[in-house]
Structure 1
Amino acid sequence: MLKKLMNSPTTYALGMFAMMIPTQAFSSFYSYFYVEKLGLGVGLATLARVIYLIWDAANQPLFGYLSDRTRTRWGRRKPWIVSSIPLFMATFIMVFAVPDGLSGFSLFGWFVVALVLFEGVSTIIWVNYGALFPELFRGDRARAKASAVQQGYQIAAILIASVLTPILFAAIGFGYMSVVFAAVFAVFMIGFVVTTQENKQASVEPPLPIMEAFRSTLRNKQFWIFNIANSFAQTVNGLLGSSIPFYAKYVLHVPEPQVSLLLASVFVPVIPLVAVWYWIVRKLGGLRGWRLSLIAYGLSVIPLWFATGLGTGIAAGIVVGFGLAGFLVTPPVVTGQIIDQDYEQTGSRREGVYTAVGGFITRSSGLISALAFWIVGMIFGYVSGENPGPDPESTFRYLISVVPLCLLAVSMVISFFLPRLPGSGSGLGKQ
């Protein structure tokens, strides 16, 4: 039975499920916990976040390079993941289990240390987990299937964490909530580890020196074109998520308790729709499937402009779910093709460096999202909930529909500069 499960898309996706439950709880509630519940000043909380982002930018390429250079009897990635499991649990609990009596700069100090430690351990796991994908799954068909299953598990984890986190912290407090999620993480991550076996040949190939490894990566034009295009599309994910509560209030005029229905209309359909995109990638290949997903995502945000109430908003959200599903499934397939081509040219597998640097480029999308929010807010006079300006409805109609459409159009144009990749043709049924 264990042999049958080894390196299957389902057991690989257990790792995504394990990580996304605490990660979603963290990203959604850590600021609220420290600012609203513990009374940390907004200025200090913002400074802590800046330190967190700088550390995040610096450590990803480093951990990716160290992972690529690792040589053990168990492989390159698993030793990092296994050793990080208890550290991830401890640092996640540290974020939310704050000692009594901390306030002001002492609370700020705890917050910074907890963020830096948690982000560092999280990066180790995310980089090594992502680097396993192109090694375990070869060919567009296998990667599309694995990506579809993985994204289904990711959305399920996001929904579970989004629903359970408020219930748990209301019932048992943030500290015990973090213990529960840490335990859930350990159970599913161990399930992933015991059903994963690395390619032994990849572990014996000599690694490139550090400067040559990064020089080759940064000179790879295909890598840059793909990730820059993806960063514009990734901006849409963050922009939609952050704009939906405002959109519900100012455009659809629905009460706050119904915002969860609007969010569910976007995310719930993604789970079955990833199967549709798996079929599309099998027919078109990775590159053309990815380009089609950008087109579909762009067109899917148009109905949001015309929605006027909860019913039409939910219908528009379901359409967005189709475009989002395509964007979640297709990029890992193209990333795998770029890494395969790099291996053919250099004779060295550098999934860790590519995963880490690609993640850093993609995370820059948060800056684009913040800039778009600020510019549109300035145009229509929106300042805050206390001072929404003369036309908040237009502010968030543009932010949730027009701006995403423009960003995805830019992403689509850039994607055509990416040449045909090995195995990116249509009708790929081979592994």
Structure 2
Amino acid sequence: MPNFNKKNSRRTSPFRFATGLFALTLLTQLFHGFNISYYVDYTGIVSIYLASICKIIFVIVDGLNDIFFGALSEKTKSKWGKRLPWLVGGLPILPLFILLAYVIDKSAGFSQTGFFIYYLFISIMIENASTVMYINYGALYPVLFVTDKERAECSSLRHLFEMIAMGICYVCTPLLMEVLHSYFLIGLIYTAVYFVVMIFCITGLKTKGKEDITLKKPYSFIQTLKDVLHNRPFLIYNLAQSFFQAILGLIVSIYPMYCKYVLHTNSATLAALMAVLFGSLVLSIPFWIKYIEKHGFRMVWKICFTALPISLFFLVLPINWWQGCIVMIFIGPFVGGLMLSPDMMSAELIDIDKMKYKISREASFNSIGSLISRVSLIVSAIAMSALSFAFGYESGSNPGPNPELAFRAMCGVMFPIICACGTLFCYKYIKISNKDSQDLKAYKAMLEEKENSDNITD
């Protein structure tokens, strides 16, 4: 039977493990946060319609690679464990393709189709590389940190680093563009930071003897898929998360254009707006940690999912950058809570699976969950297509008759509607998963009591 309270003298430092998410976030957000504005608005080499088509194709390919790499990770056997070989092997691949994303502009002389194919190829390769890194990094979290206290400590550090990295990326990138005038050069700076921090993280992982402590029968992908398809709480939870991921993705990709056309910002005021958003995010973390200790991570998740659609609605109101700052102060904490709590939510689902089936399959659960959450990219693509068709916005070269109204409606109306869909799934998940959550708590308490009893006997 799986022992969730197993002690091991070789304990991975939560701080050191958490730095890995800082490195991954800093680099990947340079692509996810700025690729739409770069290809569609800054260079104008891809229309927003073609960018939406790219996202839909990307979703299909990405869904397959999540499952493929998750299954390969589960089947990996080496003296370094399941996950480390993938983390080391994927380390240089991710920055390579992110840098290649920003070496192209109109001077390349491609046709519109050529630019589209290049954009699609780079997007797919970046997602392949980031899938390898994120799935294997994420699969180590519930294995290296087994108690609720350890997980809360590590999760808070992980997402504190994640938010700091996002803040640095979204605040510093516009300012660096003013000086360097090149996303490629900015990418080189972030790549250097990525290598230093990621190597620091990987060399501190103490995985020996921990990854397979619950393995009682051989891994089968088909059986895993069957179990997942019959696991309603898992499906509903990941659908809820997919809508939050859609909002997060749209905020980081569309918000710079919202600032440009609605708030009429320059690089300095855009940096100030992003600083306010991520500042309020980071400052909310200590509050949410205390709240989790008192009321649990499920309550934080529910509260933030309830409040976020309401706070997003206020994006329809600002007419200048300082009013935008006020709205960001209200949005940031709820985004922070929804970034902090899912680590513990997902770990709880994996623990429930271990309790029921007596098998360790963290990477597969992460990859299948990631596949379900890719609904968010379809939602994002539909939202961007709607923007194009309804308001005539195509690109920075052809913004249409009223780009201000287009982005005000996109952020202040469509964002809250998308988020509210996630809220409905959130409430459904809380309702249907309550019994499993209580059973898991009782199971862990029984194991802890048994372990204490064995220690007294010894």
TM-score category (smaller protein): 0.7 to 0.9
Contact 1:140 1:285 in 2 (8 A): no
Structure 1 residue aligned with 2:4: none
Residue 366 of structure 1: CA displacement?
2.5
Q: CA deviation at 1:231?
A: 1.6
Q: Is the 8 A contact 2:52 2:385 kept in 1?
A: no
1:63 to 38, 49, 69: 69
Listed one character per residue, the Cα deviations across residues 99-141 of structure 1 (whole Å, up to 9, x for unaligned) are 9995437777766554444332221111101111222222443
2:315 corresponds to which residue?
304
Q: CA deviation at 1:311?
A: 2.8
Match of 2:19 in 1: 14
Gap regions ≥5 residues in structure 1: none
2:65–2:128: 8 Å Cα contact kept in structure 1? yes
For residue 269 of structure 2, give the secondary structure of its aligned residue in structure 1: helix
2:16 alignment partner, SS class:
helix
Which residue is equivalent to 2:126?
A: 118
For residues 134 and 199 of structure 1, do their structure 2 counterparts lie closer, same or farther at Cα, with a shift above 3 Å needed? Answer: farther
Q: Partner of 1:194 in structure 2? A: 203
The RMSD of aligned alpha carbons is 3.7
Q: Give aligned-pair identity as a percent.
A: 26
Partner residue of 1:148? 156
Aligned residue pairs total 423
Query: Equivalent residue of 1:104, what SS?
Result: coil
- Shift in CA distance, 356/90, structure 1 to aligned 2, threshold 3 Å: same
Give the CA deviation at 1:154: 1.3
Post-superposition offset of 1:161: 2.7
Q: Match for 2:420: what amino acid?
A: A
DSSP-derived class of the 1:200 partner: coil
The separation in 2 between residues aligned to 1:221 and 1:186, in whole angstroms, is 39
Is the CA contact 1:293–1:330 (under 8 Å) kept in the aligned structure 2? no
- What are the residue-to-residue correspondences of 1:395-410 with 2, within 5 Å? 395-410=406-421
**Aligned position for 1:183:** 192
Change in Cα spacing, 1:367 to 1:99, as seen in structure 2 (3 Å) is closer
Q: Is the 8 A contact 1:239 1:399 kept in 2?
A: no
Q: TM-score, normalised by structure 1?
A: 0.83
Distance in 2 between the 1:397 and 1:80 partners?
42
Give the equivalent residue in structure 1 for 2:437: 422
Alignment of 1:104 with 2:116, yes or no, is: no
The answer as to 2:334 corresponding to 1:323 is yes
Q: Are 2:88 and 1:82 equivalent residues in the alignment? A: yes
Deviation at 1:399, TM superposition (A): 3.3
Secondary structure of 2:342 counterpart: helix
Q: Secondary structure at the match of 2:205?
A: coil
**Is the CA contact 1:98–1:175 (under 8 Å) kept in the aligned structure 2?**
no
Matched-pair contact (CA < 8 Å) for 1:297–1:320: yes
The Cα offsets for residues 372-419 of structure 1, whole Å up to 9 and x where unpaired, read as 45547766x454564334x954x5444333433333333233223222
Q: Residues 272-310 of structure 1, C-alpha deviation per residue, up to 9 Å, x if partnerless?
A: 211211111221222222112212323433443444443
Indicate how the Cα distance of structure 1 residues 179 and 251 shifts in structure 2: closer, same or farther if over 3 A, else same.
closer
Q: State the distance in 1 between where 2:328 and 2:345 align.
A: 27
Paired letter, 1:203: D
Change (3 A) 1:414 1:33: closer
Matching residue of 1:368:
379
Say whether 1:338 aligns with 2:349. Answer: yes
2:241 to 230, 235, 238: 230
Q: So what's the TM-score if we normalise by structure 2?
A: 0.79
CA contact 1:267–1:321 (8 Å) conserved in 2: yes
Once the two structures are TM-superposed, the CA of residue 25 in structure 1 deviates from its matched residue by 1.7
User: Residue 407 of structure 1 aligns to which amino acid in structure 2?
Assistant: I
Q: Is the 8 A contact 2:383 2:414 kept in 1?
A: yes
Distance 1:233 1:32, change over 3 A: closer
**Secondary structure of 1:202's match?**
coil
Any gaps of 5 or more consecutive residues in structure 2?
Answer: 1-7, 449-458
Distance (whole Å) between structure 2 residues aligned to residue 274 and residue 267 of structure 1: 11
Deviation at 1:158, TM superposition (A): 1.9
Are residues 271 and 37 of structure 1, via their aligned partners in 2, closer, same or farther at CA, if it must alter by over 3 Å? closer
Compared CA separation, residues 246 and 18, structure 1 to 2 (3 A): closer
Match of 2:3 in 1: none
1:221 alignment partner in structure 2: 232
**Farther off after superposition, 349-358 or 39-48:** 39-48
